[in-house]
Chain A
Amino acid sequence: MATYLLRRLLIAIPSLLGISVILFTILALAPGDPFSEMATNPNVPPEVREAIRASFGLNDPIFVRYLRWLSNMAHGDWGFSFASRINVDQLILQRVPTTLFVVGSSQILALCIALPVGIYAATRPYSVFDQIANTLAFVGFSLPTFFTGLLFILLFSVTLDWFPFVYRSDVAATGWRWYWEMFRQAIMPIMVLGLFQAASYTRYVRSAVLDVIRLDYVTTARAKGLSERKVTLRHITRNALIPVVTLVALQMPAVFGGAIVTEQIFRIPGIGSLLIDAILANDTPVIMAVTFVFSCLVVMFNLIADLLYGWLDPRISFG
């Protein structure tokens, strides 16, 4: 196991390097340039535009820029944002706590809904409960988050006036009030994201449990006289978890990467909104840093998922 882990970690280094080359090339080739506002501004003469481009090294060939980026990265220098003119790591660190809190809570909420509902629905397929759960799930993923978010705002902020819909990273309150205010402002985005995610998770859990529930060993377990509860939890769920683990591992990097649409709607200062702003302003150093961290997490969670498969189903081996 340890050698396997070591081997995977060693493979991860060249594969991340390969990913970074491709990311960098795509960003360098993608249309748009960071000084677009300058282009429409008659006040800025063309020679100044050129000088600014040159001072940011945008006129060098791609591979020179890549090597410069790589060597800076190796020294712990994440680069310099064109738009904010400050260091990228500073920008990202400011956004991390909010993102982890909002997107992380929504993932937990999604799992808390999806696991029990999915399992219960699968043990009674085509019952009334199952039908209702299914229908709600379909509604859930037929409606995009920009739509449900707006629906929530219209209902809870405009009509009922319960929650604010502008998220503030620094709530001006202390003690219990602080927690209350945080709860009030975070509840809507967490619900929107969580319910959307829960809808698809529920479908996967139900389907995975249905696949397992009819296998012989479950019958054996029942025949041994184990209680239904024990059968469901110990025997069925554990084996049905493989697709769920896959999905959760796929979603985990997003907890860092944020949720672009929802963050825009509720003005959450998370990584997602940093990324979209950077993309719209063609602020390549920021895009590169965020996507590279994201790809590191993708690789890492893929590895974790593989390890978990082995634990869930000991027959799986990676010889």
Chain B
Amino acid sequence: MKEQEIRGLVADVKDGALSRRSFMQKMMAVGISAPLASQILVWNDVAMAQPADDYKPTKAGGAGALKILLWQAPTLLNPHFASGTKDQIASRIFYEPLAGWDEDGNLIPQLAAEIPSKENGGLAADGKSVTWKLKKDVKWHDGKPLTADDAVFTWEYAADPATAAYTTGSYKDIKVEKVDDHTIKVIFKEPTPFWADAFVGVAGMIIPKHHFGEYKGAKSREAPANLKPVGTGPYKFADFKPGDILTGTRNENYHVKNKPAFDTVEAKGGGDAVSAARAVLQTGEYDYAWNLQVEDEVLKRMEAGGRGRVLTAPAGDIEFIILNTTDPWTEVDGERSSVKTKHPTLTDPAVRQAINLLIDRESIQKFIYGRGGTATASFTNEPKRFKSEKLKYEFNVDKANKILDDAGWKKGSDGIREKDGKKLKYVYQTSINAPRQKTQAIIKQACQRAGIDLELKSVTASVFFSSDVANPDTYTKLYCDIEMYTTTQTQPDTGLFLNQCVSWEICNKENKWLGRNVSRYSDPEADKAYNAAKTELDPAKRAALLIKVNEIFCEANILLPILSRPRVVAAANNLKPQTSGWDCDTWNLASWYRT
């Protein structure tokens, strides 16, 4: 979709000729993520939708206990140290950011009085600052009022490198000024199209200055509040056993009327995803379970128990394959898969194209992931009914065979194709996870039929996803021909996400393989488009640029997307949770209730 068309649609929404919802759907059909689409509207002065809050209870409390099962146990409760989703979920029970993202990618004010826009003067025309107004009369759990000082302190705290906060990336390049007691101004170094990062969502939780003030920087680990949080959230801290169980009680002075509905909340950790699903769907011991990376067949059978149901929320995560165009088996200057080398066979575009044709995405979706993944040909996308018009996938063994025949790859006596003595034999690596091993088996079989031999290799996840410089099996080392994993879109914006496709992020020995571009492929056109998008304030133009980066990599068959993966959760039948793929599961815990 061209930038003019998007503009036209925006005009339609403004006039009321097109509903907001259908605009979002159209955007998503062309591969623009929901939050981005939502921002396009904001930038064009179409106010954020205030989704109808379908919260039913007419009084706070009284719904008893809410029991959440996290199969990875939370280990700490400081949101700025949260090393994974589990800790973000746990700390979000007690802390809140200025705004959170809902399921459709709308910004919803939490501690902010309103979402900044051009209309209300929150967004500067040059894109270099945002002014947030804080809600008044918000009290911390200890009774002290929330002020702009707390927000400014949160920035100081997280931006200080000595604090070693995991959220530091959102704060280190900005400046935050206090305008008055309930107004802050976030100042960017350069025009920033995606401004809703600091103080928003998982990285944005505000912490109280009067509890953390003394513990900024190197002393951060000593703060008592790291384990006994004092926040503004709907539930107050009761007890925490790291790696096991977390309990909270209702905050009687919560700043939203009639919320929250539950008297106590409990988050229990440990175990595995299958039995977590079982505890919610089959035995009803728990009300809610998160991140169910379980084969859909198994979930469906458990749902038949009738105690709970499985819910999905769109997210930007993508399960994909990288075809390595560098040589993983030759060492140059102390590293394999160096950009100085060329892969003997995968540099042939015909081979890459053939492999893309050998991925039976539909069967992988139908028989393994089910609701947990939607077959896709696009690296960045939204899992809805419509697919990108340009990028299409196909499973066609005959066509793959023909392409390879035409390119001169002939089958040898062992049934494996070869040319000039080079055989199409690859090592196909991924992390250990039952659905992934099944996907490997399916792709291996199809490749066999096309004369390509795959050796399957699986690495335990704690090693595969580590940044250990000494280990050859980490995913950023890419010491294999073909690699498969899921990359998560932590931010509801593809700008940062697509730095996996730029030349200066290529993993190599020099940057200790900490670069974001694992595929090692680069294209000057993609670099150019990415850089242009970085400061492009016009959302329609920016979207077009980012889509271009995505298409360059997919059309070159370097990144072979398989499935776009939504968040899959299980909830008891009588529970009405608020899920979101753009924020953490407990982002709006205050609005959960029992029917």
Assuming the contacts A46-B514, A51-B161, asked whether A170 and B239 have C-beta atoms less than 8 A apart, the reply is: yes
Comparing B5-13, B174-182, B335-343, B464-472, the segment that makes contact with chain A is B464-472
Q: In the complex the two chains form, what is the Cα distance from A35 to B81 in whole Å?
A: 11
Q: In the complex the two chains form, what is the Cα distance from A274 to B83 in whole Å?
A: 17
Residues of chain B within 8 A (CB-CB) of A279 are 462
CB <8 Å contact, A43 and B166: yes
CB <8 Å contact, B463 and A31: yes
The answer, yes or no, to whether A10 is at the interface (CB within 8 Å) is no
Q: Mark B206-240, 1 if CB is under 8 A from A, else 0.
A: 00000000000010010000110000000000010
The answer, among B227, B279, B468, B473, for a CB contact under 8 Å with A165, is B279
Q: In the complex the two chains form, what is the Cα distance from A38 to B78 in whole Å?
A: 15
The residue of chain A having its C-beta at the shortest distance from the C-beta of B242 within the complex is: A84
The minimal Cβ–Cβ distance linking A178 to chain B, given in whole angstroms, is: 16
The answer, yes or no, to whether A77 is at the interface (CB within 8 Å) is no
Q: In the complex the two chains form, what is the Cα distance from A293 to B467 in whole Å?
A: 29
CB <8 Å contact, A269 and B514: no
Counting chain B CB atoms within 10 Å of each CB, the highest count among A32, A49, A158, A161 belongs to A32
CB <8 Å contact, A32 and B164: no
The answer, yes or no, to whether A13 is at the interface (CB within 8 Å) is no
The answer, among A44, A81, A94, A280, for a CB contact under 8 Å with B244, is A94
Assuming the contacts A85-B221, A169-B245, A170-B245, asked whether A32 and B462 have C-beta atoms less than 8 A apart, the reply is: yes
CB <8 Å contact, A42 and B497: yes
Q: In the complex the two chains form, what is the Cα distance from A33 to B243 in whole Å?
A: 19
The answer, among A83, A153, A165, for a CB contact under 8 Å with B75, is A83
Residues of chain A within 8 A (CB-CB) of B468 are 31-33, 36
The interface residues of chain B, by DSSP majority, are classed as loop
Assuming the contacts A84-B76, A165-B279, A169-B244, asked whether A48 and B164 have C-beta atoms less than 8 A apart, the reply is: yes
Residues of chain B within 8 A (CB-CB) of A282 are 462, 466
CB <8 Å contact, B164 and A51: yes
CB <8 Å contact, B275 and A265: yes
Q: In the complex the two chains form, what is the Cα distance from A266 to B168 in whole Å?
A: 37
The residue of chain A having its C-beta at the shortest distance from the C-beta of B223 within the complex is: A85
The answer, yes or no, to whether B408 is at the interface (CB within 8 Å) is no
**Can you list 9 pairs linking A and B with CB atoms under 8 Å apart?**
A32-B466, A48-B169, A80-B221, A165-B279, A166-B268, A170-B245, A269-B245, A277-B243, A281-B75
CB <8 Å contact, A35 and B270: no
The answer, yes or no, to whether A45 is at the interface (CB within 8 Å) is yes
Q: In the complex the two chains form, what is the Cα distance from A44 to B512 in whole Å?
A: 15
The residue of chain B having its C-beta at the shortest distance from the C-beta of A41 within the complex is: B490
The answer, yes or no, to whether A73 is at the interface (CB within 8 Å) is no
The minimal Cβ–Cβ distance linking B81 to chain A, given in whole angstroms, is: 6
Q: In the complex the two chains form, what is the Cα distance from A294 to B226 in whole Å?
A: 29
The residue of chain B having its C-beta at the shortest distance from the C-beta of A172 within the complex is: B65
Q: Mark A277-312, 1 if CB is under 8 A from B, else 0.
A: 101111000000000000000000000000000000
Residues of chain A within 8 A (CB-CB) of B226 are 85-86
CB <8 Å contact, A38 and B467: yes
Q: In the complex the two chains form, what is the Cα distance from A170 to B203 in whole Å?
A: 31
CB <8 Å contact, B473 and A31: yes
CB <8 Å contact, B168 and A158: no
Considering the complex of A and B, which 9 residue pairs feature the smallest CB-CB distances, nearest first? A39-B467, A269-B244, A36-B466, A43-B169, A31-B471, A84-B242, A267-B270, A84-B75, A267-B271
The answer, yes or no, to whether B433 is at the interface (CB within 8 Å) is no
CB <8 Å contact, A55 and B271: no
CB <8 Å contact, B465 and A269: no
CB <8 Å contact, A86 and B471: no
Assuming the contacts A83-B75, A274-B243, asked whether A49 and B514 have C-beta atoms less than 8 A apart, the reply is: yes
The answer, yes or no, to whether A207 is at the interface (CB within 8 Å) is no
Q: In the complex the two chains form, what is the Cα distance from A295 to B83 in whole Å?
A: 31
CB <8 Å contact, B268 and A267: yes
Comparing B117-125, B253-261, B280-288, the segment that makes contact with chain A is B280-288
Q: In the complex the two chains form, what is the Cα distance from A198 to B245 in whole Å?
A: 31
CB <8 Å contact, A32 and B463: yes
The answer, among B73, B283, B463, B465, for a CB contact under 8 Å with A158, is B283
The answer, yes or no, to whether A164 is at the interface (CB within 8 Å) is yes
CB <8 Å contact, B83 and A38: yes
The minimal Cβ–Cβ distance linking B125 to chain A, given in whole angstroms, is: 28
Residues of chain A within 8 A (CB-CB) of B170 are 43
The answer, yes or no, to whether B476 is at the interface (CB within 8 Å) is yes
The minimal Cβ–Cβ distance linking A187 to chain B, given in whole angstroms, is: 15
CB <8 Å contact, B470 and A31: yes
CB <8 Å contact, A43 and B241: no
* Chain A residues at the B interface, C-beta cutoff of 8 Å: 31-33, 35-49, 51-52, 55, 80-81, 83-86, 91, 94-95, 153, 157-158, 161, 164-166, 168-170, 263-269, 273-274, 277, 279-282
Q: Which of B483-533 contact A (CB under 8 A)?
A: 487-488, 490-491, 496-497, 499, 511-512, 514, 516
CB <8 Å contact, B490 and A43: yes
The residue of chain B having its C-beta at the shortest distance from the C-beta of A54 within the complex is: B164
CB <8 Å contact, B511 and A158: no
Assuming the contacts A31-B463, A164-B283, asked whether A39 and B166 have C-beta atoms less than 8 A apart, the reply is: no
Residues of chain B within 8 A (CB-CB) of A51 are 161-162, 164
Q: In the complex the two chains form, what is the Cα distance from A268 to B218 in whole Å?
A: 35
Counting contact residues on chain B (CB < 8 A from A), the size range is 35 or more
The answer, yes or no, to whether B355 is at the interface (CB within 8 Å) is no
Q: In the complex the two chains form, what is the Cα distance from A153 to B243 in whole Å?
A: 23
If A36-B468, A95-B244, A267-B271 are given as contacts, then 6 extra A-B residue pairs at C-beta distance below 8 Å, sorted by A number, are A39-B466, A40-B465, A40-B487, A42-B491, A81-B75, A280-B462
The answer, yes or no, to whether B69 is at the interface (CB within 8 Å) is yes
The residue of chain B having its C-beta at the shortest distance from the C-beta of A48 within the complex is: B168
The answer, among A47, A85, A161, for a CB contact under 8 Å with B76, is A85
The minimal Cβ–Cβ distance linking B262 to chain A, given in whole angstroms, is: 14
Residues of chain B within 8 A (CB-CB) of A45 are 168-169, 172
The residue of chain A having its C-beta at the shortest distance from the C-beta of B461 within the complex is: A280
Q: In the complex the two chains form, what is the Cα distance from A35 to B469 in whole Å?
A: 12
Q: Which of B6-23 contact A (CB under 8 A)?
A: none
Q: In the complex the two chains form, what is the Cα distance from A41 to B168 in whole Å?
A: 11
Q: Mark B157-192, 1 if CB is under 8 A from A, else 0.
A: 000011010111110100000000000000000000
Q: In the complex the two chains form, what is the Cα distance from A33 to B474 in whole Å?
A: 11
CB <8 Å contact, B499 and A42: yes
Q: In the complex the two chains form, what is the Cα distance from A267 to B499 in whole Å?
A: 39
The answer, yes or no, to whether B137 is at the interface (CB within 8 Å) is no
The answer, yes or no, to whether B272 is at the interface (CB within 8 Å) is yes
The minimal Cβ–Cβ distance linking A82 to chain B, given in whole angstroms, is: 9
Residues of chain B within 8 A (CB-CB) of A49 are 467, 514
CB <8 Å contact, A38 and B272: no
Q: In the complex the two chains form, what is the Cα distance from A168 to B285 in whole Å?
A: 11
Q: In the complex the two chains form, what is the Cα distance from A42 to B476 in whole Å?
A: 13
The minimal Cβ–Cβ distance linking B248 to chain A, given in whole angstroms, is: 14
The answer, yes or no, to whether B92 is at the interface (CB within 8 Å) is no
Q: Mark B69-109, 1 if CB is under 8 A from A, else 0.
A: 10001011010010110000000000000000000000000
Q: In the complex the two chains form, what is the Cα distance from A282 to B242 in whole Å?
A: 16
Counting chain A CB atoms within 10 Å of each CB, the highest count among B241, B275, B496 belongs to B275
The answer, yes or no, to whether B278 is at the interface (CB within 8 Å) is yes
Assuming the contacts A166-B279, A169-B245, asked whether A85 and B81 have C-beta atoms less than 8 A apart, the reply is: yes
The minimal Cβ–Cβ distance linking A30 to chain B, given in whole angstroms, is: 9
The minimal Cβ–Cβ distance linking A189 to chain B, given in whole angstroms, is: 12
Assuming the contacts A170-B239, A170-B245, A269-B241, asked whether A42 and B466 have C-beta atoms less than 8 A apart, the reply is: no
Q: In the complex the two chains form, what is the Cα distance from A263 to B473 in whole Å?
A: 29
The residue of chain B having its C-beta at the shortest distance from the C-beta of A268 within the complex is: B270
Residues of chain B within 8 A (CB-CB) of A38 are 83, 166, 467
Q: In the complex the two chains form, what is the Cα distance from A268 to B242 in whole Å?
A: 13
Q: In the complex the two chains form, what is the Cα distance from A45 to B166 in whole Å?
A: 9
Q: In the complex the two chains form, what is the Cα distance from A166 to B277 in whole Å?
A: 12
Assuming the contacts A91-B243, A166-B285, asked whether A39 and B463 have C-beta atoms less than 8 A apart, the reply is: no
Q: In the complex the two chains form, what is the Cα distance from A158 to B170 in whole Å?
A: 45
The residue of chain B having its C-beta at the shortest distance from the C-beta of A33 within the complex is: B468
Residues of chain A within 8 A (CB-CB) of B470 are 31
Assuming the contacts A43-B203, A85-B221, asked whether A36 and B462 have C-beta atoms less than 8 A apart, the reply is: yes
The residue of chain A having its C-beta at the shortest distance from the C-beta of B78 within the complex is: A85
Counting chain A CB atoms within 10 Å of each CB, the highest count among B76, B81, B162, B166 belongs to B166
